[in-house]
Structures are given as structure tokens and as C-alpha cells.
Structure 1
């Protein structure tokens, strides 16, 4: 089988690797038909986070089950499935409370189970990890493209909105115009927010945010962006979605949060340790910080129901499609902001 491999910063190759097989009674083997390149992949691609040379990459899989272990009961050979960006058992203390990202038996996709930007993956804990797509939708390409973001960015944007406490009639601010931020706009609209202010740096992405439900957008930077957000919301919003992870984005989120409000943060932290977090402002204004790595498996069935019902469609975030050989080009396009998110069809 073939898979995408990280070699060095800005060097991704596609190579032959050993086939994956069922190794445990709780495993499944899935032939990947759809996957994606994530904004968080750019951290190691740019050399801004550590990654072992020669490791397989990708964490957003969808495909067809090719084999199952004898104890797997939720899926069978031939089923269309997708999986979150982490592996989870579904039955431990943390999975039972909806915190699948802290699963006691969890794992990542970066090891010898395949890496999801490749032809096949081995899925440990298949019953707890895989989400089965109903047969009537299993071959509808438009539906599958809309479901794929549930493996990560749609569930992550939803986690930001839920963590920020967004409810019907609310005003909220979304920090970030990447795939997660755009999905945060969708999530806030889905939860009934009356006003959604999207903040970013790219006019084309903010236009998509408006299509997704943003009522106002801000393309300014720094203090100007903060001032405009406060003017629009009469002093700040009670609900702020931080969907970037950079220290500057977290600082902006705190500044535009209304006293007594909540910041829902889901951006992978980057640079926060070096630059610090403005804890005093949070303390003095009684700002609550909630969120973290999104347990997207907990939201999968709920969001899938809306996709299948035609009321949720995050697929426009995919602005470029490549095959497996095109994965290196997909990374380059995202790195250079030529694509919001790249769909990969091995």
C-alpha cells in the first residue's frame, strides 16, 4: 500500500509501506476513499512543531471496511464509515462522559496503523471509533464530502460554540477564518445565534463565513480589529469562539469577550507558553475559559443527522481536491493560503 510520509519541513513524499492487517480482535481495516489535510498538519510541515522523519501523516479518514476482528460488532465488511482524529474505545470512564479525546485506551493515527493520508488504515478499537454511514447515503458523493469534516473541523468548530455557551438569540464572535473558524460559524448558526461576527484576515474566506451565517465580518488586524469588534457588539460578546490557537488569537479572544462572558477555545495552542496568557484580564473581568481538544466522536451522530437531513453542509471549506500523489501539492497550497482545506481522494 502507499501512504504520505513526513520527511523534513516542507517535504512530504508518497511511498510504498507495509500493508495494514487486523492484529487484534477489536481491529478493523478500512480502505480510505476520502481524507483531508488539516491546518494543524501545517505546524509540523513548517517545522514549527516536532515530527519524526519517516512518520505517516493524516488523521481525518473515511472509507470502506475491508476486514474486521472477531469481536467487532458495530460495523461489517463493505460498510461506509468515517472516524474522528483520535481513536477511542467508547466504554471507558472518559468516553462515557463524552470526553473521547482522553480515552484510557485511546491512540493516534500517526503510528503503524497507517496514517490516514494513505490507501488503508488499521482501526484499533473499531467499535468505539468508527461511525457508520447509513447505506442509503453511502455512495452519494455530495453527502460524503459534507460528512468528511465531521472527522475533525466541523466537530471542532461545534465544540468551540458549545464551550462558549452559544444558544438561540445570542451574539458571538468567531476568531479565525480557517476551516475550524468557518465551521464555528456554521455551528453558531446551527445553535441559533442571532449575531455572528467573524474575524479573520482573508476577504474570500470571510465571504464564505457570510454564506455560512456570519452577520458581520472584520478583516482588520491587531488593535483595530479589537476596537471594531467591540464597537459592533457594544463592548464585546458574551460568547467568543477561539479557532486559531496562536497566542495573538487567544489574546484577541480575551479582549473582545464581554465581562462575565466565556471564551470557547479549540485552536491547537501555539506560542502561548512563550508569550503568556493574559490571566489578569480574565480574572478582573470574570471571563471563563472553556474548551480544549474537541471530542468530535461525541458529536458525530448528532451532526451527521443534520448533514443527512440537509440542514448542515460544511463541504464548501474544501477548495482544492487532490489524489494521493497530489498530497505534497496539497500541503503546499494550504501552506501558501491558496486553499482553505484540501480534500484527498486516494
Structure 2
């Protein structure tokens, strides 16, 4: 099969690689029809995190089930499915608690499972991972584009909002204007927030935040951004969604958070080599809550809203490529020319 592979910083190539084979009675093989490039993919692309060379890449798969193991009960051949960025069993202690990202049988989409930015993937735990798209929506391209962000960024933005305690009538701030931050705005709007302050540096992305329900847009940087939020809110907000993962964004989060408030953090940590000073959180009795999003725990409720037409995160896809265009897609995201790249096969 053809798949995108990492050959070192700045070097993504589409080339032949072995097609994954079914090796478990609980597994499935999926022919990928839609996938995406994630902001977290940029860390190995930029050489800022380690990754095997060469290795298949991608972790946001949607496609058609081609083979299923004899013990699989939730999906069958021909079904349209999508899947979270982590593979989970659905049976263990942590899956039963809704913490699928801590599954004792977890697995990734790379390595022998094929990499989601390729023609096929293997899911070793089909029942605990895959979500079936109802037949009446299975070939609706607009719906599929809206569902694909549920594999990662929409559910991650939702996790930030839930972790921050956003509910009806809340005033909140979202730190970051990447795909996760924009989905955090959409999630806060969905949960009933009355006021949503989007903090970012790119006018085109803040326009999407406005479309998603942000009531205030803050484009200033650093201390100026903090000052602007505090002016808008007379001293900060009780709920902050941190959607970047850098020391600077965490500092901004606590600086705009009122004493006794909560920061929901979901940004993949990077650039924290000198450590994060927790003293301000301690002194302000600010709760720090969040982590890697258990997408499988949220995906069904989010899918229900997409299917009834009340949730549409698809505007985060500002560029579409085919499989051969994946290297171009990485370049576009690395240069901030695209918010998130949709890949159609």
C-alpha cells in the first residue's frame, strides 16, 4: 500500500509500505478514505520530538471496514467508521471509567498498524475503538468532514472545556487559535458558555473563532493579551481552556484565571524544558485539570450532535489534499498557511 512516512525533520514521503494484516479475532482492517494532519504531528516534523526513522504517520482515521475478526460484534464489513487517536479495548478498568487513553491494552496507529495517513490501518481492538457511522450518513461528504475532527481535535477541545468546568452561563477564555483552540471555542459554545474570549495571534483563525461562537477576540501577545482579557472581564475568568502546551500559554492561562478558578489544559506539552512554575496556581487556589483527551468517551455524544446538525467543526479544515499531497500539507501547516489539513483518499 501507499502511506506517508517520516524520514527526518521536514521530510515526509509517500511510498510503498506493507499493508497491515488482520492478526487478532478482536481486530479489523480499515480502508482509509479520510484522515488529517494534526498540529501534534508538527513536533516530530520540526525535529522537536523523537520518532523512528522511517516510520508511518497519522492518527486520525476514517474509512470502510474491509475485514473483521470473528469476535468483533460492533462493526462489520462495509461499515463506515472513524476512530480516536488512541486504540483502546473497552474492557479494562480504565476504559470502563471513561479513561480510554490509559487503557492497559492501548496501541497507536503507527508501526505495524499502518499509520492513518495511508491507505489501510489495522485496529487490534475494533469493539473498544471504532465508531460506526449510521448508513444514512455514511456517504454524505459534508457530514463526514464534520465527523472527522471527532477523531482528535473536536474531542480534545471538548475535553478542555469539560476540564475547565464550562457550563451554562460561564465566562471563559480559550488560549490558542490552532485547531484544538478553535474547537475549544465551539465546545464552550455547545456547553452553554455566555461569554467566550478567544486569544490568538492570527486574524484568519480568530475569524473562525468568531464563527464558532467567540464573543471577544484578543489578538495581542504576552502581557498585552493578559491585560486585555483582564480589562474585558474586570479581573479575569473562572474557566480557562489551555490549548497550546507551551510554558508561555500556561502562564497566560493562570494570569487570566481568577483565584479559585480552573484551567483545563489539553495542549500537548512542549517547550517546557525549564519547567513550569506552579507557584501562581498554588497561591491563587487555581485548579489545574485535564490531560490527554479520552476521545472514545466523548465521541458518541459529539457524533449525535453532528448528525442532527447542531455541531459542525469542519471549518477548521482550510486545506484539502490527496495522499500524494500529504508532504505539501505538512509544509502548509508548518508555515501557518493552513489551520488543519484534510486528506482524502
TM-score normalised by structure 2 residue count: 0.99
Q: Indicate the residue corresponding to 2:42 in structure 1.
A: 42
2: CA distance between counterparts of 1:19 and 1:154?
Answer: 29
Structure 2 stretches of 5 or more lacking a match?
none
**What residue in structure 2 maps to residue 345 of structure 1?**
344
The separation in 2 between residues aligned to 1:207 and 1:18, in whole angstroms, is 42
Q: Is the counterpart of residue 245 in structure 1 residue 213 in structure 2?
A: no
User: In structure 2, what is the Cα distance between the partners aligned to 1:330 and 1:133?
Assistant: 26
Whole-angstrom distance in 1 between the partners of 2:290 and 2:19: 37
Aligned with 2:111: secondary structure? coil
Aligned partners of 2:108 and 2:341: how far apart in 1?
A: 21
How do 1:125-164 residues align onto structure 2 when only pairs under 5 Å count? Answer: 125-164=125-164
1:11-31 CA-to-partner distances (Å, cap 9, x unmatched) read 000111111121110110000
Counterparts of 1:236 and 1:341 in 2: how far apart (Å)? 30
Q: How does 1:121-270 map to 2 (within 5 A)?
A: 121-270=121-270
Q: Counterparts of 1:103 and 1:231 in 2: how far apart (Å)? A: 43
User: Per the alignment, in what secondary structure is the counterpart of residue 210 of structure 1?
Assistant: helix
Inter-partner Cα distance in structure 2 for 1:98 and 1:304? 17
Q: 1:236 deviation in Å?
A: 0.7
Deviations 1:281-329 (A, max 9, x none): 1111100000000001100000000000100000000000000000000
Matched with 2:80 is 80
- Once the two structures are superposed, residues 121-143 of structure 1 have per-residue CA deviations (whole angstroms, 9 ceiling, x without a partner) of 01110100000000000000000
Q: Aligned residue for 1:7?
A: 7
Q: Deviations over 1:33-86 (max 9, x none)?
A: 000000000000000111111110000000000000111110000000000000
**Please, what is the CA RMSD of the aligned residues?**
0.5
Aligned partners of 1:128 and 1:65: how far apart in 2?
15
Following superposition, the deviation at residue 233 of structure 1 comes to 1.2
1:324-343 alignment to 2 at 5 Å?
324-343=323-342
Count how many residue pairs are aligned between Structure 1 and Structure 2.
345
In 2, Cα distance between the equivalents of 1:284 and 1:260? 10
The 2-side partners of 1:134 and 1:322 are apart by 26
1:144-165, CA deviations, whole angstroms, 9 ceiling, x for partnerless residues? 0000000000000000000000
Determine the C-alpha separation between the residues in 1 that align with 2:91 and 2:230: 44
Offset, 1:278: 2.4
Match of 2:58 in 1: 58
CA distance, structure 2, for counterparts of residue 187 and residue 270 of structure 1? 24
Runs of at least 4 residues off by over 6 Å: none
Q: CA deviation at 1:276?
A: 2.1
Task: Provide the rounded CA distance (Å) in 2 between the counterparts of 1:18 and 1:203.
Answer: 43
Deviations 1:226-282 (A, max 9, x none): 11011111111100000001111011101111100000000000122x232221111
Quote the residue 2:307 is aligned against: 308
**What's the CA shift for 1:93?**
0.3
1:115: which partner in 2? Answer: 115
**Shift in Å at residue 202 of structure 1?**
0.1
For 2:201 and 2:209, locate their aligned partners in 1 and report how far apart those are by CA, in whole Å.
Answer: 12
Which structure 1 residue ranges, 5 or more long, are not aligned?
A: none
